[in-house]
Every structure is written in structure tokens, then in C-alpha cells.
């Protein structure tokens, strides 16, 4: 049986070749250091695990959950938004639970697109925005994120006829893969743009709590008018080291939350309730683990920067997320350089073109391994030079 055209048209998996090489190097006994993994290396805080254990013993939690989430979970999300951002959300109508934010990001296109519709998608970016668009039969229009624009899309560059055909716009700050953070002026422009072209803004705020140098990332929903034109996807994955737990939410525009809830009631049956109780414990419990996490990533970032300076590399000092986006030295493509580094230094870095065509010429490193390993990896690369 032949797979669908949409499946056939998905971009090739660029990391497959690298993964094969990592496997080979490990089999030969090399100590490979991977700076390629966008997954926190630290465990979930203990009090969150305790909440899961307790809630999992209650038989009420063994049945099908509601596909939009327990009311008490949605209330905890609303309280967290109020405390953290000063944003008012109605837990009944403006919050829906997700099986991790990736699930909602992939599905929202299916709930909104008709064949031929356009989604505005950042490039480089988290691949799910474009892939969800394609699986829904839509067409991604790439908004280039360039260094000279501090990795913010230039809305004025989007042609009028494209904007008129667009249904959704994806944005993501603090940004994966560039580490850029957006300011209020940018979000204000996005609200105006979305209003004038009738576009639903989908802001991916997965890294809102991972920011550095004492600055706090904004929520898109803090901007006046944002709730009329957009939603925010969020998740416990990065803030509380819970990537394996699969729990997140979408919040904001009431109609969009209703549409998403209706879509989900037809395709899944929600998040295991015990995990939702653990999520409440995460949002409402002590937050010192989050402060420690920021400090740890910042120390890793600063250690990496020190050696990168000596290497003469060109990079953006990340203000948020746990990635660094670095220019490939002259004479290499992204793929060539990453293969060269893997072969000679046994260090995994990911080629920028894996995040879109405008990522060519860059590579990404993730700060998700111990500081000493980051230092060792970069020293190995330094020795090659
Ligand atoms: C990690 C990540 C997410 C979070 O995914 P979950 O499905 O919530 O685990 C979302 N967006 C971006 C850009 C990410 O890097």
C-alpha cells in the first residue's frame, strides 16, 4: 500500500546519516560526546514524581480522562499565567490540555487548514510547524530568521497575497534553534499583522522559563489584543525536565481553544490524570528547581562561550532556550562541517539545514550535557584547528 502524497512529500530526515555515523563510532569504542540532543539531562524534581505516585494509586485516575484536561489542571495553568505573566485566562474556555505541546502544534493545522491554505512558518525552526502544515494539506510559507534581524521574522517582507491566504502564523521565543528572545515591540507588530490579515498566531513558548542574565521572557498573551488573534503553546517539558511525561497546554483565544478541544475529543482521550496532578504539583510547588536549572544552563553557556571565543567562532549569545547557534567556518556546508567534527573530534553537533533552508551555514549545539563534557567537546574541536 502506498503512503499518502503528504507523507511522501515530508522532508528527508537529515539526521539519519549522522545517527549512523554516531552508532559506528560508538561501536568502535570511541567516547562520543553528543551536543545534539534537545532534551534536558536532569531528572524531574522529586515532589512532582511524588505527586504522580500518589495520584496513580487513586482508581478514579485509571479511567479515560477528559480530552480537554481536568478542570483543576486548567485552573493551575490559569493561576500560573496570572502569577508569572499577569495574564488572565478563563480555565473553562481559554485553556486546553495537550499530550505535550508538540501534539497540539502538529494538530492545529488539521483543525484549521483546507487544502492549499498557507501557514507562515519560521525558518530555521522547530520542524513540526512545517510538517504539521504539510500533513494537513497546506503549504508552509517560510519566514527567514536572519542574524541581522536578531532572528525575528520581518513581517513587512511577507507579500500581501501570501498574507491574505495565510491561516496560521507560528512563532517561537525563546527560540529553538537560535537562542533569540523576542521583545514587546515585535509581538505588538505580530498582533497588528494578524488582525489586519485575519491570521491565528500560534506562539510556541516551550522555553519561556529558560532565559539568562536575569531577563524573563514575555508571554505573547501579555500583549494587548493578543488573545483576540492568538494562542500560546506551552509545556512542562523544558521547565521541569518532563519531556517523557507528555503534558502541555494551549491557552488564549477562546474560539481556537474550543476548536482544538473539539478536534482532540475526536482523536485522543487526553492526558493520564495522574500526570495532570503531577503537572499541578509542578506549576504550584516550589520553583527553586527552575532557578537552579537556569543557573546550570547559564554556567554551561558561559563555559562554551569562553572556548568559542578562542576558536574565533561567530555565534549569538543565547538569551533563552538551551541552544547555541553558530556559524560554520568558511569552506564547509553545515552537513560537511558536522560530519568532519564527528569524524575527527567524535563530537556531535547538528547541521543548521536540519531546521530549514535558511539554517544552512550554521550548526546548533545543545547545552544538555554536563559542563565538563561541553568543555571537553569544545577542547577536542579546538585541538583540530
Ligand atoms: C522541546 C520543544 C517543545 C516541547 O515539546 P513537548 O511536546 O511539549 O515536549 C516545543 N517546541 C519547541 C520549539 C521545542 O524545542
Domains of the chain: 5-43+288-384 (3.90.1150.10), 46-284 (3.40.640.10)
Per cent of the chain over pLDDT 70 is: 100
Segment 116-162, tens digit of pLDDT: 999 999 999 999 999 999 999 999 999 999 999 999 999 999 999 99
Lining residues, ligand 1, CB within 6 Å: 38, 100-102, 126, 172, 176, 204, 206, 235, 237-238, 243, 248
Task: Tell me how crowded residue 38 is: count the other CB atoms within 10 A of its CB.
Answer: 18
Q: What is the pTM of this model?
A: 0.97
pLDDT at 29 over 90: yes
Give the Å distance between the CA of 37 and the centre of ligand 1. 12
The residue whose CB lies within 8 Å of the most ligand 1 atoms, and thus the one to mutate among 102, 151, 249, 268, is 102
Taking residues 58-64, what's their average pLDDT?
97
Per-residue confidence at 56, pLDDT binned at 50, 70, 90? Answer: very high
Segment 277-327, tens digit of pLDDT: 999 999 999 999 999 999 999 999 999 999 999 999 999 999 999 999 999
Segment 83-94, tens digit of pLDDT: 999 999 999 999
Taking residues 193-213, what's their average pLDDT?
98
Q: For cell 536578531, name the residue.
A: 150
pLDDT at 385 over 80: no
The residue whose CA is least distant from atom 2 of ligand 1 is 206
Which three cell numbers mark 319? 538569551
Amino acid at each position: 500500500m502506498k503512503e499518502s502524497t503528504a507523507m511522501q512529500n515530508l522532508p528527508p530526515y537529515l539526521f539519519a546519516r549522522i545517527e549512523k555515523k554516531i552508532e559506528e563510532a560508538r561501536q568502535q569504542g570511541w567516547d562520543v560526546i553528543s551536543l545534539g540532543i534537545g532534551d534536558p539531562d536532569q531528572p524531574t524534581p522529586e515532589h512532582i514524581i511524588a505527586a504522580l505516585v500518589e495520584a496513580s494509586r487513586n482508581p478514579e485516575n485509571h479511567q479515560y480522562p477528559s480530552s480537554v484536561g481536568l478542570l483543576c489542571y486548567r485552573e493551575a495553568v490559569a493561576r500560573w499565567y496570572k502569577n508569572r505573566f499577569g495574564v488572565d485566562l478563563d480555565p473553562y474556555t481559554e485553556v486546553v490540555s495537550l499530550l505535550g505541546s508538540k501534539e497540539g502544534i502538529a494538530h492545529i493545522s488539521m483543525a484549521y487548514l483546507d487544502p492549499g491554505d498557507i501557514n507562515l512558518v519560521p525558518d530555521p525552526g522547530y520542524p513540526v510547524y512545517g510538517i504539521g502544515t504539510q500533513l494537513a494539506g497546506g503549504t508552509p510559507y517560510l519566514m527567514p530568521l536572519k542574524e541581522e534581524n536578531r532572528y525575528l521574522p520581518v513581517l513587512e517582507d511577507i507579500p500581501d497575497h501570501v498574507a491574505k491566504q495565510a491561516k496560521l502564523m507560528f512563532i517561537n521565543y525563546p527560540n529553538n534553534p537560535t537562542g533569540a528572545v523576542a521583545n514587546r515591540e515585535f509581538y505588538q507588530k505580530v498582533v497588528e499583522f494578524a488582525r489586519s490579515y485575519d491570521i491565528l498566531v500560534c506562539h510556541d513558548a516551550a522555553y519561556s522559563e529558560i532565559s539568562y542574565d536575569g531577563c524573563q521572557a514575555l508571554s505573547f498573551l501579555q500583549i494587548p489584543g493578543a488573545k483576540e488573534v492568538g494562542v500560546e503553546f506551552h509545556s512542562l517539558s523544558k521547565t521541569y525536565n518532563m519531556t517523557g511525561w507528555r503534558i502541555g497546554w494551549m491557552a488564549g483565544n477562546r474560539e481556537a481553544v474550543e476548536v482544538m478541544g473539539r478536534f482532540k475529543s475526536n482523536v485522543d482521550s487526553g492526558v493520564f490524570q495522574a500526570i495532570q496532578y503531577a503537572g499541578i504539583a509542578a506549576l504550584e510547588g516550589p520553583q527553586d528547581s527552575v532557578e537552579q536549572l537556569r543557573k546550570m544552563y547559564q554556567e554551561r553557556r558561559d563555559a562554551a562561550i569562553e572556548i568559542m571565543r578562542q576558536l574565533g567562532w561567530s555565534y549569538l549569545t543565547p538569551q533563552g532556550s538551551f541552544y547555541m547557534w553558530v556559524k560554520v567556518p568558511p569552506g564547509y556546508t553545515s552537513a560537511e562541517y558536522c560530519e568532519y567534527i564527528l569524524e575527527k573530534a567524535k563530537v556531535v553537533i547538528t547541521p543548521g539545514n536540519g531546521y530549514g533552508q535558511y539554517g544552512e551555514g550554521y550548526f546548533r549545539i545543545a547545552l544538555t550535557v554536563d559542563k565538563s563534557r561541553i568543555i571537553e567537546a569544545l577542547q577536542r574541536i579546538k585541538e583540530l584547528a
